[in-house]
Each structure stands twice: as C-alpha cells, then as structure tokens.
C-alpha cells in the first residue's frame, strides 16, 4: 500500500501532516453530508489510487488464470495473495469512516504500555518501554480493539519509514502531562536507526496514518506528525485522562 507518486516522502509528509499533527492539519477535513464523518480530500485521493492499484493486480492475475488451460494454474497463489491484500486494505480504510467506538473500558496507563509493547513486538522487533510504576493508578477510558489497531498502524509506519532491516528496536516512553484543568497520557514512540543505511526511507502510507490519527482523535487525543530524522523516526500521541470525579463507573 505504498504512496508511489513523484513527490518525495519527506516533503509529502510535511505537507500533509505537519502544522499541529496528523489530525490537526491546517486544511481541516470536510464532512460527507449532514452529520457524516469528516474526511480529508487527500486521503480520499490516496484511497482511490490504492483501490486502482489493487484492481490492476486482480485483473492481471485473473486474466492470467483465464489464459491457462492446462495443469495447476500457476497464478492461483498470486491471485489469492492479491485478494488478501485488497481485503486487508479495505478493512483498514473503512475504519477511517467509523465514528467513535462504544465498547469503552477503563484501563490503567501501565496496561496501555504493556499492550503497546506486545503489539510492537509481534514482528520480532525488540521493544524497550519506559512506563513508571506511578502510572499504574492512572485510569483511561479506551476502546481496546480500535486503540490496538491504531498502535499497530503507527508501529508499521515507523518501520516503513525507518526501513525494517535498518532499525535497532522500538523505544516507548509514557508520562503524564498536566495542564490547568486537564491531564494527558503522552506516549512517545521512536525507532532508532542503525549505523548503516540498508535502503532509502519509504514514504508514509497516508491512509493508514490517517486511520490511526482518526482512532486517537475519537479517544479525545491527538497524534503528532511523524518525524523522519537522520538517527531515528518518531511520533507522539496523547490520550486524555478522565477526571475521576466525572468518569462513569465501569
């Protein structure tokens, strides 16, 4: 699901998700009809582009199978892979149009850190998490399934930009930020690069990044722009901590 247009990834990323973070772009998304979800026209263009790419692959392998009339069709596994890839893209893309989840549960900040560590480590990448024990008493209201999806997409994009063969592991830091009347859980996720550059950095997948930002936004938080630097790729997200006096009982 690469964004394969001519504009360099760093410039495209800065243009689309800078100025206050991925979910706070300068040009605010528009609504699709009365009461519909806000959508970013650029995200829709990327969806259209990706759908076209998937259909091109499906037509190619389907035509190849139609032309084969002897023995076991050699294009069958490739067509199956293309279908699974398209299914995965559609499942992710549809989340962009979903509203806030209703299956909210109360979890501790420590549990959020443990879940994030587990999700990031699924691909075999080492994960170092700094989550102070004092956060164990900090409770958040989250949709665990959707937030887990956001964590997975964020991790995939950091690896995508850093280069999966050129990373030292994930570094995750959780801390609290207190304002005049609010408290946030800040989660910084970083992928330090190795000394040797294995391959040029890929571009961020705008659809996946926007879906992750939308999920975090539905939790009342925000996802910062992905920073692609010489030594690391990183991002920060914040989740609000409900006022215990106003929080519903679970």
pLDDT, tens only, 150-166? 999 999 999 888 886 77
* Contacts with 59 (C-beta within 8 Å, 6 or more apart), sequence order: none
> How far apart (Å, rounded) are the C-alpha atoms in residues 100 and 95?
10
CB 240 within 8 A of CB 183: yes
Tokens 């024990």 locate to: 133
> How far apart (Å, rounded) are the C-alpha atoms in residues 223 and 215?
9
* Contacts with 244 (C-beta within 8 Å, 6 or more apart), sequence order: 139
CB 167 within 8 A of CB 193: yes
Q: pTM here?
A: 0.74
pLDDT, tens only, 199-230? 556 788 889 999 999 999 999 999 999 898 88
* Contacts with 144 (C-beta within 8 Å, 6 or more apart), sequence order: 103, 105, 107, 115
The single-letter DSSP state of residue 32 is: S
DSSP, collapsed to helix, strand or coil, labels residue 231 as: coil
pLDDT, tens only, 47-90? 898 899 998 988 888 888 777 665 556 678 888 889 998 998 88
């Amino acid at each position: 699901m690469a964004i394969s247009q001519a504009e360099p990834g760093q410039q495209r990323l800065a243009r689309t998700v800078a100025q206050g973070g991925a979910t706070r772009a300068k040009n605010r998304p528009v609504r699709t009809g009365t009461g519909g979800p806000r959508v970013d026209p650029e995200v829709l263009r990327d969806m259209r582009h990706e759908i076209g790419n998937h259909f091109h692959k499906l037509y190619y392998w389907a035509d190849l199978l139609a032309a084969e009339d002897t023995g076991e069709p050699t294009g069958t596994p490739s067509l199956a892979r293309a279908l699974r890839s398209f299914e995965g893209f559609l499942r992710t893309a549809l989340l962009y149009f979903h509203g806030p989840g209703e299956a909210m549960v109360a979890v501790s900040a420590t549990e959020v850190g443990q879940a994030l560590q587990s999700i990031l480590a699924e691909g075999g990448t080492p994960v170092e998490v700094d989550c102070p024990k004092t956060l164990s008493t900090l409770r958040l209201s989250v949709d665990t399934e959707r937030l887990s999806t956001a964590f997975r997409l964020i991790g995939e994009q950091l690896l995508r930009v850093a280069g999966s063969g050129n990373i030292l592991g994930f570094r995750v830091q959780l801390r609290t930020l207190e304002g005049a009347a609010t408290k946030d859980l800040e989660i910084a996720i970083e992928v330090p690069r190795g000394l040797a550059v294995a391959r040029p950095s890929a571009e961020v997948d705008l659809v996946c990044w926007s879906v992750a930002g939308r999920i975090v936004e539905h939790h009342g938080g925000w996802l910062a722009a992905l920073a692609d630097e010489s030594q690391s790729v990183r991002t920060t997200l914040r989740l609000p901590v409900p006022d215990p006096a106003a929080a519903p009982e679970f």
